[in-house]
Amino acid sequence: MAETPIPDATPGWSEWQSLEGTPDHDRDGPVLLVGTRKGAWLVAGSADRRHWSMAGPMFLGHVVQHLVLDRRDRTTLLMAAKTGHLGPTVFRSHDLGRTWTEAAQPPAFSSGDRHERSVETVFWLTPGHADEPGVWYAGASPQGLFRSDDAGDSWASVTGWNDHEHWATWAEWPDVEGTPDGSIVHSIIVDPRDRAHLYIGLSGGGVFESLDGGDDWTPLNGGCAMDFAPDPHAEFGHDPHCVRIHPAHPDRLYQQNHCGIYRLDRPATTWNRIGDNMPAHIGDIGFPIELHPADPDTAWVFPMDGTDVWPRTSPDGRPATYVTRDGGRSWARQDTGLPERGWLTVKRQAMTVDALTPTGVYFGTTGGEVWASPDEGAGWQPLVRHLPEIYSVEHADPLDRT
Amino acid sequence: MKVRIPTPLRSYTANQSVVEAEGATIAAVIDDLDRQFPGIKFRMVDEQGRLRSHMSVFVRAERERDLTTSVEGVGEITLMQALSGGH
């Protein structure tokens, strides 16, 4: 049989295009990694965050749940992708998305798995601890956790989670109470002080903690409401939407849950519902929560309507972020520049912050818009419109900015 | 035998729409495809050996989901994407 040439790389993007018709500008500012229902794009800002360019699409038509740069080498870019027909996989790039190769062994449960599970979606990607270069974690639907030790080329089951004696109970398998697109592992968090200290979020299932690198797990849902379940005091079964650890103060965690906004200051194990301090007519339901990179008392949320049939659009159709600067004791509305009326949703991976001062805050909408605030939410401006439904927006600080 | 490749999988086959592969069953043919075009199998068959829900295999003009189906003496099979997988 004749040898068939196999392409060793899939092309990504080829050139930057300035937004708003501005001339070419420096790209020394934030780079946003945008994953959508139909492909991925990059959005890069000038150092002063006044001018922006876009590159893409990459993998047009692919469902891109998450696109993340390795903050350790600032070069390796991983993409969690699938298509309507094809199974889930991970693509890797080392040139900021100009070319891509597929993982040799994408995340998968073991063949002959006792629950006969197969990965339907790779949903979440998290680089490992700073002391473990090349280590990544991936969360999947159904609620599987996977680890790579070679920068995303091959993935292995985290058996301490996937084969945990309580997994089927925690994950409500097979009668899952999952998200509309399936139950997921998300919010994979590695304690910056201890690579063996991990947190994950299950939608549904709750927050779980491991102190031994993923060999064993414990539910961590005390204090969280579960309005949709018959036992509101159950140990698990909750629906965290997004969990964040403060990078500089890692004893502090924040959580946007299906039933409220919470803060947890370890070693306590009971979450404090700081969403009770939100205006009653807005409520404290949403998908994302983002933290100020330096100030552990500052966090942003994007409230959505969780009443009636759960429209999951901004309350009363008036989009706004809300910020707390005192650890959730009070919240302030931020809607300057946002449309007076807009029926949109910001998904759990679609809000991020940059590393500049003042902190830039960014979010992508289900309507395909990317919004930016260079001043911590005081004023908003649209960067990009007319993209497909946005699933994720992550800030990156790549070495290569050409 | 000839294997017809649908457009979503042609990134694996250097854009070839028809390739050659060997095997006594559909599963064996797909294994041979994966040897030639690494990674193509997992996109259409999950880790438990099940054909993914939005993929189809046609043998002698019949849709087959059982990958143990014999293809002895078959000159051509067709891999297709199902309409149900559209987004």
The tens digit of pLDDT for each residue in A116-157 reads 999 999 999 999 999 999 999 999 999 999 999 999 999 999
User: What pLDDT shows up at residue A1?
Assistant: 42
Which of A1, A89, A117 is opposite residue B43, by nearest beta carbon?
A89
Chain A contact present for B62, CB below 8 A: no
Kindly list the residues of chain A whose beta carbon comes within 8 Å of any beta carbon in chain B: 1, 4-7, 10, 37-38, 61, 63, 83-87, 89, 102, 104, 106, 108-113, 116-119
Smallest CA–CA distance from A88 into chain B, residue: B43
Give the pLDDT of residue A228: 86
Beta bridge partners of A134: none
Report the distance separating Cα A247 and Cα A253, nearest Å: 10
CB contact under 8 A, B14 and A109: no
Q: Is B52 on the interface with A (CB under 8 A)?
A: yes
Contact check, Cβ <8 Å, B48/A84: no
Is B31 touching A (CB cutoff 8 A)? no
The pLDDT value given to residue A2: 44
User: Looking at the complex, does the CB of residue B46 fall below 8 Å from at least one CB of chain A?
Assistant: yes
B9 with A86: Cβ contact below 8 A = yes
Which residue, among A396, A389, A356, has the nearest Cα to A370 in the 3D structure? A389
Tell me which residue of A298, A243, A294 sits closest to A271, measured CA to CA.
A243
pLDDT bin (cut points 50, 70, 90) of residue A108 is: very high
Any A CB within 8 A of B14 CB: yes
Report helix, strand and coil shares of chain A as percent, to nearest 5.
5, 40, 55
For A27-78, the DSSP string reads --S-EEEEEETTEEEEEEE-TTSS-EEEEEEESTTSEEEEEEE-TTTS--EE
* Mean pLDDT of the A267-277 span: 98
Number of cross-chain residue pairs from A and B with Cβ atoms under 8 Å apart: 75
Residue of A nearest to B87 (CA): A84
Mutation choice for B interface testing from A6, A38, A85, A141 by most B CBs within 10 A: A85
Q: Tens digit of pLDDT for each residue in A58-103?
A: 999 999 999 999 999 999 999 999 998 999 999 999 999 999 999 9
Inform me whether the pLDDT recorded for A268 exceeds 50: yes
pLDDT of A231: 86
Among B42, B82, B86, beta carbon nearest to A106: B42
CB spacing of A110 vs B47 below 8 angstroms: yes
Q: How far is A290 from chain B (nearest CA, A)?
A: 30
Closest CA to A139 of A166, A157, A165: A157
In this complex, the residue of B9, B14, B39 whose CB is nearest that of residue A4 is: B14
**Size (chain B), residues:** 87
CA-based nearest distance B60→chain A, Å: 22
Cα dihedral A207, A211, A213, A214, rounded to 10, equals: -40
Do residue B14 and residue A1 have CB atoms under 8 angstroms apart? Answer: no
List the single residue in B14, B44, B86 with the smallest CB-CB distance to A86.
B44
Contact yes or no for A108 and B47 at CB 8 A: yes
Contacts of B48 in chain A (CB under 8 A): 109, 111-113, 116-118
CA A221 – CA A262 distance, rounded (Å): 10
- Grouping H, G, I as helix, E, B as strand and the rest as coil, residue A316 is helix
Nearest CA in chain A to B83: A85
Best residue in B2, B47, B79 to probe A by mutation, most A CBs within 10 Å? B47
A182-192 pLDDT, tens digit per residue, is: 899 999 999 99
Q: Collect the ranges in chain B with pLDDT lower than 50.
A: none
Using CB atoms, which residue from B12, B20, B47 is nearest to A118?
Answer: B47
Nearest to A111 among B11, B44, B47 (CB): B47
Q: Which two tokens stand for residue A329?
A: 């004791």
pLDDT digit string, tens, across residues A352-394: 999 999 999 999 999 999 999 999 999 999 999 999 999 999 9
Please give the pLDDT value at position A3: 44
Query: A83 vs B85: CB contact, 8 Å cut-off?
Result: yes
What is the average pLDDT score of chain A? 95
Q: Is the pLDDT of residue A348 over 60?
A: yes
* Residue A63 to chain B, least CA–CA distance (Å): 9
Position A361, amino acid:
V
Q: Are residues A4 and B19, on separate chains, in Cβ contact within 8 Å? A: yes
**CB < 8 Å to A113, chain B:** 47-48
pTM: 0.95
Spatial distance between the Cα atoms of A156 and A60, rounded to a whole number of angstroms:
28
Residue A284 backbone phi and psi in degrees, to 5: -130, 45
How far off is chain B from A15, nearest CA to CA, in Å?
Answer: 22
